[in-house]
Amino acid sequence: MSSNTSVGSSRSISLPLEVVEKILKDVDDLGDRQSLINCSLVSKLFLYLCRAHLFRDIKLFLEPDHPEQQGRSEETMPTSVQLIAFLVSDPHVASLIRTLRITGAEPHPETAASQWTTIVENLSNLPLKLTHIRYLVIQSAFFTDWTMLNPELRSVLNSLYSLQTLQHLELHYMLMTTQELLSLIRIPEVTLIGVLSISKLEDTEATKDDSRLPPRRSLLHNLKIVMKRPDMASFLSNIVKAAAETLKLLQWLSSPYHEMERTHLESIILRDLPALVSLTVCIPLDHSGIGDLVTLFGSASGGTKLESIEIVCDYRRIPDQRFIDDWNWQGVDTALADDAVYGAFHTLKVSVKKIVYPKHKQLSTGVYERMLNESLTLFRSKLQMALDKGVKIEGSEILQMFRV
């Protein structure tokens, strides 16, 4: 619209459109959706302007039909079904969506696949309407992956990954085959939280099928992985290998619900990641964790472009000094001080993993700050050659793997 356009009437002060848009943006930034809804009722112009904010970030809560609900009219369907139907019926509104968050309830054991029919019928028409989506989040349930309860539902959700405008995909607690996992490398940013291999048998078959497909072109440059279980490291490393030529930032983390878990850093071979400039890894702060760092840093033989590394320390109490002195600090120090391999490396960050206790009181911020200070002091005292080289060893924020 023209910059000379103004909003108002003969009985009110006219405001330039840019001012109105700025006011609505500020209201949106405050999270005041009700005020935006009220403003949208003022006029067609305000409806148009407010919709851009109201539908920018949409959350869909998917749930199966209850047996008594099947066959009902659209007006009496669950809110999520009505919202999807509305978005499908109005392509302009659907095109306003930039972030789509899809979640669902923990399914009942007796839920039948047919109870997802209404959701599938409506949802299957939505992908083509999402012409400007950039961020997609699919959050399954911790104990049961509801996306697997109906094949058609799973297929529709998978189709969302291939939307051309999608820049960031975030998946929580979903079961995946290797083929599905590797298909994600065409998305620039991917976050995988608690993702598991679908099963050993099915995953083997998927790998065989995938071997017959032409190589995928990777666009993935930012990858965050939070493992639900340590034994998923090998499976999840497949996407790291597939995106090796383009991956610039990698976060490789353990579950926030468990303490002192290994992350099997041997699954990451630094010399095979030529574009990587930033790496974050979580280790148990013990003999095995420091040993894993030695293995990881030693895998960069031939040189790496890594500029910064963050080490997330997973522990409750720092061990006695006599045990700490026996850890292979020299192996870590020697590797990082080697200019022939780590010539671009300049910053080592130290942080502490924030543990989530579902049924107990959480540790205070003060406790984590104390832990951060003591772990930072420890690394500075043990990596003298790296410090002499000019590497900055500094504290980072307490790392919470994701919002709970």
Task: Report the run of H or E that residue 314 belongs to, with start and end.
Answer: strand 308-314
**DSSP letter (8 states) at residue 400:** -
Give me the mean pLDDT over the 60-66 stretch: 84
For residue 350, report the phi and psi dihedrals to the nearest 5 degrees: -120, 130
Mean pLDDT of 271-290: 98
Q: Is the pLDDT of residue 71 over 60?
A: no
* pTM of the entire predicted model: 0.87
For 105-121, how does the pLDDT look when each residue is reduced to its tens digit (9 = 90+)? 777 656 666 778 888 99
Binned at pLDDT 50, 70 and 90, residue 48 comes out as confident
Best CA proximity match to 216, nearest among 260, 178, 272: 178
pLDDT at 152: 93
* Confidence at residue 281, expressed as pLDDT on a 0 to 100 scale: 98
Per-residue pLDDT for 403 more than 90? Answer: no
From residue 383, give the alpha-carbon distance in Å to each of 66, 283, 374, 378, 389.
61, 17, 15, 9, 10
Pair 288, 259: CB distance under 8 Å: no
E strands, 55-204, are: 57-62, 99-104, 135-139, 168-172, 175-176, 189-193, 196-197
Reported as a pLDDT band with limits 50, 70 and 90, residue 28 is confident
Residue at 269: amino acid letter:
I
How far is it, in rounded angstroms, from Cα 96 to Cα 58?
10
**Closest listed residue to residue 175, CA positions, set 147, 201, 153, 155:** 147
- The percent of residues in the chain predicted with pLDDT above 90, rounded, is 64
- The predicted pLDDT at position 32 comes to 77
Q: Which residue has the higher pLDDT, 114 or 293?
A: 293
Among 223-227, 342-346, 395-399, the least confident range? 395-399
Mean pLDDT of 52-72: 79
Answer whether 210's CB lies under 8 Å from 181's CB: no
Give the domain ranges of the chain: 17-54, 56-65+79-108+115-166, 248-403
Question: The tokens 């006011």 sit on which residue?
Answer: 23
112 three-class SS: coil
pLDDT at 69: 55
Helices and strands (H and E) in the chain: how many: 15, 15
* Residue 105: predicted pLDDT: 74
State residue 315's pLDDT score: 94
Query: In this predicted structure, what is the pLDDT of residue 106?
Result: 73
Q: Minimum mean pLDDT among 106-115, 313-322, 333-342, 353-362: which range?
A: 106-115
| Mean pLDDT confidence for 332-361 | 93
Question: How do strand 6-7 and strand 15-16 relate by DSSP bridges?
Answer: antiparallel
* pLDDT grade for 1, boundaries at 50, 70 and 90: very low
Tell the residue number behind the tokens 């976050």, with chain if given. 191
3-class secondary-structure state, position 278 = strand
CA dihedral sign, ordered 303, 304, 305, 310 = negative
Distance CA 110, CA 92 (A): 38
Q: Which two tokens stand for residue 246?
A: 């383009």
List pLDDT tens digits, range 265-277. 999 999 999 999 9
Q: Write the pLDDT tens digit of every residue in 161-190.
A: 999 999 999 999 999 999 999 999 999 999
Amino acid letter, residue 276: L
Kindly indicate the confidence band of residue 398, based on its pLDDT and cuts at 50, 70 and 90.
low
